[in-house]
Amino acid sequence: MIRIDKISKQNGHQIVFIEASAVILRGEKVGLVGPNGAGKTTLFRMIAGEENPDEGQVSVDRGTTIGYFSQDVGEMAGRSAVAEVMNGAGPVSEVLAEMKALEAAMADPDRADEMDEIIESYGEVQARFEELDGYALDARARELLDGLSFTQEMMDGDVGHLSGGWKMRVALARILLMRPDLMLLDEPSNHLDIESLIWLEQFLRGYEGAVLMTSHDREFMNRIVGKIIEIDAGQLNSYSGNYEFYAEQRALAEKQQQAQFERQQAMLAKEIEFIERFKARASHAAQVQSRVKKLEKIDRVEPPRRRQTIAFDFPPAPRSGEDVVTLKNVEKGFGARKIYEGLDFQVRRRERWAVMGVNGAGKSTLLKLIAGESTPDSGSVTIGGSVKMGYFAQHSMEVLDGERTVYESLEGWFPQAGQGSLRTLAGCFGFSGDDVEKPCRVLSGGEKARLVMAKMLYDPPNFLVLDEPTNHLDMATKEMLVTALENYEGAMLFVSHDRRFLAALSNRVLELTPDGVHQYGGGYVEYVARTGHEAPGLHG
């Protein structure tokens, strides 16, 4: 269906692809992986026809429809969310526009003499609209938006009033409604809560068309794809299997290549030693000569290219008292809406609570109450003795000084730390090389989040309160964070939609539901086993 044939591409001074080839077959679900800046978006744009390779070609079978969801959703305003979604439904939306124009023409008294032709055209267009299942379009658009957690009010309201994250969901629903032969999905799992994420996962698994997607959510990708295309040093390598299988195969191939490289190096060292020892002796001249020729002909094995995997030993957190935070009879509401009534809850030392609940259940409100960012209407929130709290929320990024560089920020926070230690810390959170010289005002949301996280973990508190800490993190940084926090000795209370993060780090679950608050001993894995669903609001 899609054939990428020996493409080469250069962006400025950066060589992105060198004679790279790959194939995507009809109905295949493919994950596209590679480090940041490897060229994933460039490849999407070439398949979508928005860019051309410098050499080679991307050929698409005749009649193949392609839907491309990117992080850049463009301007949206003046229409309802439903209308915006229907507008992108491919051929059917064009036919709908034609019908609307003909309806206007039929109501125009100045065109009375053309009425027969207009009515005839309308009949043809209407038949085409029916054929394309156009009358079910509104219902289908609403079903998709419902799956992505929209309320009826949001569906019918002006899309211009929605936040960036919700506009992303509208753009995503537009591609899903289009039902193209191939969906190109660039980070569709960003900005989704866990319910929407699981709904999208089920939708894509059952989708008959082909999918090529990137995602920083390992679990999400694992459950959808049956093939991985990896961008590595300008090449496209294909692996059949899900992400887990790819990671194993890649590690195995690297191990074999390393062993091969070491064997060859040992053999070369022996040959060179022989040549050096006997090159001055006339009696060995013929042997030396033949060995020199043999060395010239040998195909050299390259050592495996080391992916920059980053690990950082975070200093241990100081010990807190046994009771970290205690909530007694807490009430909290906004206007007429009650969020909590008589809430009792306690976090003890070394407990790691994952907070679960549908949108609007009060997850962030609970974290704000505990962090002191909000006060209860009645009841008490008591922080225990020797507790040093670290609170990470989406607005934590606003406290950065825009004029300072990444390195200057770290230096300002930790004046006692050595330069090597701070550079390692920056590297762990994805700031390598010249990135540490970027001023904070030019950082993306993800980069700001990583910098704030680096600050928090370098001098770790003994109680971490984290609201969606993995939102903007790529897979490598997320893995590093999970590894670091697995060894963390303090207490944790967190909200996350990343199931890998939830499963690895929680040992308690607090579930907020309309029927009240439920507490579960055992972490997220046990919670799923006991409730039969991966998130509140999902059953079965």
Contacts of 533 (CB under 8 A, 6+ apart): 539, 540
Torsion, Cα of 410, 413, 415, 418 (10° steps) = -40
User: How many other CB atoms are there within 10 angstroms of residue 129's CB atom?
Assistant: 18
The alpha carbon of residue 49 and the mean position of all alpha carbons in its chain are separated, in whole angstroms, by: 24
pLDDT of residue 400: 86
Q: What is residue 312's predicted lDDT score, i.e. its pLDDT?
A: 67
**What is the Cα 1 distance to its own chain's centre?**
26
- Contact between residue 289 and residue 282 where contact means Cβ atoms under 8 Å apart: no
Could you state, in chain order, the average pLDDT of each consecutive group of 10 residues for the chain (540 residues)? 93 88 96 86 93 94 92 79 82 80 88 87 89 84 93 91 88 92 92 90 95 93 95 92 90 89 91 87 85 88 70 81 94 88 93 90 92 93 93 81 91 90 86 87 82 87 92 81 87 94 95 88 93 75
Give phi and psi for 354, each to the nearest 5.
Answer: -95, 130
Q: Which position has the token pair 């086993």?
A: 529
pLDDT of residue 309: 57
Dihedral pair phi/psi, residue 429, rounded to 5°: -100, 25
Interatomic CA distance for residues 454 and 414, integer angstroms:
11
Sequential DSSP letters for 192-242: --HHHHHHHHHHHHH-SSEEEEE-S-HHHHHHH-SEEEEEETTEEEEEES-
pLDDT of residue 308: 57
Q: What is the reported pLDDT for 94?
A: 79
pLDDT of 90: 66
Give me the pLDDT at residue 539, please: 52
Provide the 3-class DSSP secondary structure of residue 187: coil
- For residues 354 and 523, give the distance between their C-alpha atoms in angstroms, rounded to a whole number: 8
Task: Look at residue 484 in the predicted model and tell me its pLDDT.
Answer: 84
DSSP structural state of residue 331: E
Dihedral sign for Cα atoms in the order 54, 60, 63, 67? negative
pLDDT, tens digit (0-9, with 9 covering 90-100), for 160-219? 888 888 899 999 999 999 889 999 999 998 878 888 999 999 999 999 999 999 998 989
Return the ∠ at Cα 140 (arms to 138 and 143), rounded to 5°.
110
pLDDT at 540: 43
Do residues 256 and 246 touch, judged by C-beta distance below 8 A?
no
pTM above the 0.75 mark? yes
State pLDDT tens for residues 8-34. 999 888 889 999 999 999 999 999 998
Question: Which pLDDT belongs to residue 429?
Answer: 84
At residue 211, φ and ψ (nearest 5 deg) are -135, 130
